[in-house]
Amino acid sequence: MPELPEVETVRRGLQPAMEGARIETVTLNRGDLRFPFPAQFAERLTGRTVTAMGRRAKYLTADLDSGMVAVMHLGMSGSFRIEAGEESRMPGIFHHDRSKLAAHDHVVFDLAHPQYGPVRVVYNDPRRFGFMDLVARADFENHRFFAELGIEPVGNALSTAYLAKRFAGKRTPLKAALLDQKLIAGLGNIYVCEALHGAGLSPKLLAGSLVTRSGLPGARLEPLADVIRNVIARAIEAGGSSLRDHRQANGELGYFQHSFSVYDREGEACPRPECGGTIRRIVQSGRSTFYCTRCQR
């Protein structure tokens, strides 16, 4: 499933075409994706203007001038592409070449953009694990998708003090604690492995062991928040990681996987200078964990 950097890459690709555009028509080529579409989904979108394209955790959001928010989740294989005809003035077309089979084009948005003219946005999803919904902006934070989500890993809210407060007393392995979406929203398996290596922390450590008895951050916890933000920022800049289905907004492969320190590098030497350790793979909570047996303690 695409992680936060991949979803943010898609948001940035869609933003120029969708933000400020009026939705002329919405065509649903089936009655459901992972879940049924909400009642009168196409009708409630038609005629509305997209005022902002956003992201919350791994969800794409399109604010509408009606006060509603179109919520879109890519699932395992969902993707968007932009098709602009001869009349369109939009520079650079958004492609996801992994699937252009018309049988998998489930949702088509025909837009009128004030700057670029007519633009078509197509949602394609071979596995149909993605979904779309409509949520009132006034109720957004309390909606079942978002009510229990933690902070984003890209802003100043993610701090050493925050992690210490949330880790205190936890006997959960550190990797599992970081994957808890109630703690940090959108942080997934790949980037947790990378961040833990950057911070020199074993994924098997108990989260509470990084906090003192008085609830203060221990010395080993200090770098973790900064490392997480840095890993996510570098991944977004690289267009995400092209594992299985993901491509970045212009159709090219995301290339952060070429910078992986530990993920999917089982048996290789640790890239940290003078470490001399070897990357090991273990399974935690049904997911592969990659880490250096020497420098991550």
Q: What is the DSSP string of 209-278?
A: GGB-TTSPBPGGGTTHHHHHHHHHHHHHHTT-B-STT---TBSSPPBGGGG-SSTT-TTSBP-STT---B
Q: Residue 35 and residue 20: Cα distance in Å, rounded?
A: 28
44 catalytically annotated: no
- The H-or-E segment that residue 17 falls in is helix 4-18
What do you get for the CA distance between the two ends of the chain, in Å? Answer: 29
CA distances (Å), origin 85, targets 25, 88, 93, 164, 251: 16, 5, 10, 53, 18
Catalytic member of 127, 220, 281, 287: 287
**What SS3 class is residue 162?**
helix
Give the pairing type, strands 287-292 and 279-284.
Answer: antiparallel
Catalytic member of 11, 58, 120, 265: 58
Catalytic member of 2, 118, 153, 217: 2
Q: With left for phi above 0 and alpha for psi between -120 and 50, is residue 225 left, alpha or beta?
A: alpha
2 catalytically annotated: yes
Catalytic member of 3, 6, 152, 194: 3
Contact 243, 256 (CB under 8 A): no
Q: How many other CB atoms sit within 10 Å of the CB of residue 276?
A: 11
Catalytic residue set: 2-3, 58, 287
